[in-house]
Amino acid sequence: MISAVDGTAGVGKTTLAVHWAHRVQHHFPDGTLFVNLRGYDPTTPATTDEVLPAFLHALGVPPENLPPSLHAQTGLYRSILAGRRVLIVLDNASSTDQVRQLLPGTAGCLVLITSRASLTGLVIGHSATRLTLDLLTPAEAHQLLHTLLGPARLAAEPEATATLIHYCARLPLALRLAAGHALAYSHTTLSELAAEMADARHRLDLLTDTDDPTLAVRAVFAWSYQRLTDNHARLFRRLGLHPGPEFSLAASAAIAGTELDRARRLLTSLTQAHLVQQTARDRYRFHDLLRAYASELADTEDHPDDQTRLHQVVLEWYAHHAKAALQVASPAHSSWYPPLEIPTSAYPEVVFTDPAEAWNWVRAEWDNLVAAARRATERNPVELALLLWTAVSWFSLYRARFGEARELLQLCGMLARRIGDRITECTVLQMTGEHLAHLGRWDEALDVYWDALALARELGDPWREACSLLDLGSWCNKQGRHADALGHLWEALPLCPGAQHGRLEGVIECQISAALAGLGDFEQALPHAERGVMLRRHAGDNIGEAWSLEQLARACQGLGRHQQAIAVCEQALSNTERFFLLGRAGVLDTLGVSLGHTGDTTRAIACWREALAIYEDFEDYRAADLHERLRMLDPGGHGPG
């Protein structure tokens, strides 16, 4: 029986193997053989003709009886083991070839092999059982520090403990080194230690500061890196320049400057060496310490001009696809934002054939997009950073990522002012107002909307003036000031034809419908809602169409046409499920009203509970009102649970 334990450097393979071997040693009465094959050591790896004589001597063969040839020694070794029960631990193997001749020829013995390589040859050719060690879970990492440092020290600084676990990437070796540092300098608090480790390079220095070089994190990583071919080493270093910890196959190919198939082969080899981890089909990641090490290698081994070029390649790759994703997700905005006109190129290029593909890509790449935008801010050209920030800001609002949106919008506005792009500056003000309104910060939102209107009029841009008037009308509707809303909206309507391929006019029509409904004039509200749906559908505004359908359903409700309202809401849900959860919540909220009127209370409560869960998750101002309605309708079971 053969078991192969593999995993990244420092994950605890040898510790686990030795610990387990001691626990089961009594099941092997004929003895235990152990050897460090030095597959990933600073010294030369052990060879079979070095290990076999030592094993034969341990099994009782005198030196004078040792056969001269390696083939004969292998035969003798397997003959002696036949019929015996021996535990054989082959630690730190570099490849299947290194261990093949150390395997018994018959059943009875157990071979336990550890390696940083995957050793798939053992699984395929020798039916080995493979166990891959992952990083510790946060709870396991906490338990390890609890054991090393004691409960009192961790309880005194829980936040610093969590930070240390994060900085150590939940890697057992790194955690032990950090704990050792904390024990050696007992007057240093965990918070102070965490502060020392905040910089990734200094973190590696601290985790390499040990009197045993075999336990230094940087050295342990280096032994894996030095075994790579030039092509694999080059990609490993270049991936250290990637802005986020997880990267796709396509992004890796862009960094490598090669086609997808070749990039996949290179990544497969790095995965088998446990220098990167595959997280899903065509998606990979570093843990944070390996990422810092790869970035350090790029700085020390690659020419600065190459690094500058590669940074530009990867940032333009993300900018190009962020632009393409926005244009496919919302064709109506394709010519609305000036930064979208900036020419970009990317190889290999990801093609989005429909909005669902674009949204799925954005969801998968979100952390990378934000990281790329931040990095682009520090580099030239500024226009590329502005393109990234514009696209990311738009997606942050439509994904209801309001916690991130304020920072994104502030940086986008700063960049727009730096290059004198006043149209984008106006757009940022409008988006900022929308962000504040979603958070229920009404007074702040109103001030920003007035600022945007003033700037739009100063620019002499009727479309953006209409957009600002729309924002003011929407604000008034949400405050119940429907007559004031109509004043802004009627003023906006003649300014907007053609804007956003008709989308803007559709939004204004929907807000007019909402204002009329708020004033009780549902007969007039209905045709405006219908026109809003038609315009937004014609503009390819998938998200907006769902909002327009919600307003159409509200107009139907006001006329007592609840079955029609239910059908309209169900049509809207088919769009919101894929794209925008907050929009889905609004439709569910409206659907619950009509279901309640038709007597389907059970389904109404289910819709409202789902809507409330979304509202609360996004800290939306509508949560409080819906929570109260649920409490009154369902006193024993209100809430999202």
pLDDT tens readout for residues 544-562: 888 899 999 999 999 999 9
Output the six-digit token pair for 299.
């700085």
- Residue 67 located in a structural domain: yes
pLDDT of residue 433: 92
- Residue 489 located in a structural domain: no
pLDDT of residue 402: 63
Number of domains in the chain: 4
- Provide, rounded to the nearest whole percent, the portion of the chain with pLDDT above 90: 72
pLDDT tens readout for residues 453-506: 999 999 999 999 999 999 999 999 999 999 999 999 999 999 999 999 999 999
- Residue 536 located in a structural domain: no
- Residue 145 located in a structural domain: yes
Rg (CA), the chain: 32
Residue 447 has pLDDT above 90, yes or no: yes
Give the domain-ending residue among 420, 440, 464.
420
- Residue 110 located in a structural domain: yes
Output the six-digit token pair for 119.
């050793």
252 in Cβ contact with 279 (< 8 Å): no
Domain that holds residue 77: 2-132
Looking at the fold, whether 149 and 52 belong to one and the same domain comes out as no
pLDDT band at 636 (very low <50, low <70, confident <90, very high): low
Looking at the fold, whether 617 and 585 belong to one and the same domain comes out as yes
Mean pLDDT computed over 195-207: 90
CA atoms within 13 A on the CB side of 241: 27
pLDDT tens readout for residues 381-433: 788 889 998 898 888 877 766 666 777 788 888 888 988 999 999 999 999 99
Give me the chain's average pLDDT, please: 91
Residues 135-161: b if buried by 16+ CB within 10 A, e if exposed:
bbeeeebbebbeebbeeebbeebeebb
- Residue 526 located in a structural domain: no
- Provide, rounded to the nearest whole percent, the portion of the chain with pLDDT above 70: 97
Stretch among 277-291, 467-481, 552-566, 624-638 having the lowest mean pLDDT = 624-638
- Residue 272 located in a structural domain: no
Mean pLDDT computed over 153-168: 95
Q: What are phi and psi of 129, to 5 degrees?
A: -90, 130
The Cα–Cα gap between 390 and 392 comes to: 6
Looking at the fold, whether 115 and 186 belong to one and the same domain comes out as no
pLDDT band at 641 (very low <50, low <70, confident <90, very high): very low
The Cα–Cα gap between 361 and 371 comes to: 15
pLDDT tens readout for residues 23-54: 999 999 999 999 999 998 888 899 999 999 99
Mean pLDDT computed over 303-329: 94
Residue 241 has pLDDT above 50, yes or no: yes
The Cα–Cα gap between 602 and 593 comes to: 12
595 in Cβ contact with 603 (< 8 Å): yes
What lies within 8 Å, CB to CB, of 116 at 6+ separation is 6, 7, 8, 9, 13, 39, 40, 224, 273, 274
Stretch among 133-137, 184-188, 268-272, 289-293 having the lowest mean pLDDT = 184-188
230 in Cβ contact with 300 (< 8 Å): no
Looking at the fold, whether 112 and 192 belong to one and the same domain comes out as no
Looking at the fold, whether 78 and 176 belong to one and the same domain comes out as no
Looking at the fold, whether 39 and 146 belong to one and the same domain comes out as no
Looking at the fold, whether 405 and 322 belong to one and the same domain comes out as yes
Looking at the fold, whether 56 and 157 belong to one and the same domain comes out as no
- Residue 596 located in a structural domain: yes
Distances in whole angstroms, Cα of residue 363 to Cα of each of 227, 372, 445, 542, 608: 36, 15, 27, 17, 26
Give the domain-ending residue among 399, 420, 441.
420
CATH number at residue 556: 1.25.40.10
Looking at the fold, whether 566 and 638 belong to one and the same domain comes out as yes
* Orientation of helix 382-398 relative to helix 402-419, angle to 10°: 150
CATH number at residue 13: 3.40.50.300
Looking at the fold, whether 10 and 109 belong to one and the same domain comes out as yes
Give the domain-ending residue among 198, 215, 238.
198
Mean pLDDT computed over 288-300: 93
pLDDT tens readout for residues 358-384: 999 999 999 999 999 989 888 777 888
The Cα–Cα gap between 284 and 247 comes to: 5
Looking at the fold, whether 102 and 185 belong to one and the same domain comes out as no
Beta bridge partners of 129: 3
CA nearest to 35, candidates 87, 95, 109: 87
Looking at the fold, whether 146 and 122 belong to one and the same domain comes out as no
The Cα–Cα gap between 158 and 146 comes to: 11
